[in-house]
Amino acid sequence: MALTRRNLISATILGAAAVAAPMAQAKQKTPLKPMKVSPKRRVLIQSSSRYHNSGYLDFAGDQYEKLFGKEKYEILFIPYAKVAGTYDAYEKQVQDAFKPYGHKIVSIHRFKDPQKAVREAKAIAVGGGNTWALVTRMYEAGIIDLIRERVNAGVPYCGWSAGGNVACPTLRTTNDMPIAEPPSFNTFGFIPFQTNPHFISGGTQGLNNETREDRLEEFLWYNKDEEVIGLPEGTALFVTGEYDCEVIGPKDSEALYWFRQSEKGMKLERIPLGTKFDLRKIVPGGKL
């Protein structure tokens, strides 16, 4: 990858500080407890709810057909990422989006006991919005571990934007402002690496702000044993069983961005649409 402004700054700082002290390392986060995964597990991790000029989720019919097959579900919807608006309105928006696909959406806020709702759910969908609010509210409702358990046992799961981000081990590669403080950054861990939704390469024309690459480079510099896949708009990861994963999305969507570790810093590899791979290959030095 080309030398960036952040590379130059980091090199200068490290060069001056190297004699004084060793480089700081990230503290080890509390790892997720191991959990048995059913061969029937199906997880759809979507970057976004829209693609180019599409309507809300109306581009994703093929993705939902892969996830749900021909069966029509009553899907438990988690609207907790919604901040500016009401859960009622968010539920209606998602109901309208899923109606053409033949599925019924019922929001968890309709239930007196959210934990019981998760235990009895036949399918689960988590919507986009603010990831920090989403994770905080799921912890408050006591459903993080329950959703993880149900989905790993075979209950179909789909999540877009924030709802896709929480399929990772943690929320640390979200794009959202931390407007709430969850008890932990840990999320579902349906995949063993991080993703960055709504990924767009490069900066914003006319502004001198840092690029998404800059932010992910910081993440990888600080967390040297981790990898990140950037998901451009419209794309998704479809996970089946314990380790099988496929890159899906509209035919003209971008290849994914795999930001990788190397001895010389971050490097980039692209993962084209249609690629099938083992989740365990997304590690430093791994090859698909």
Q: How far is the C-alpha of 255 from the C-alpha of 269, rounded, in Å? A: 10
Beta bridge partners, 44, equal 158, 238
Name beta bridge partners: 75: 105
The catalytic residue positions are 161, 176, 198
Tell me the DSSP string of the chain: ----HHHHHHHHHHHHHTTTSPPP-PPPPPPPPP----TT-EEEEES-S--TT--TTTT-HHHHHHHHTT---EEEEE-TT--SS-HHHHHHHHHHHHGGGT-EEEEGGG-S-HHHHHHH-SSEEE--S-HHHHHHHHHHHT-HHHHHHHHHTT--EEEETHHHHTTSSBSTT--S---S--S-SB---SSSSEEEEEE--S--TT--PPPHHHHHHHHHHH-TT--EEEEETT-EEEEETTTEEEEE--TTPPPEEEEE--TTS-EEEEE-TT-EEEGGG-STT---
Whether residue 124 contacts residue 80, with contact meaning beta carbons closer than 8 Å, is answered with: no
Contacting residues for 268 by C-beta, under 8 A, at least 6 apart: 1, 257, 258, 259, 260
- Closest by CA position to 109, among listed 152, 140, 146, 153: 140
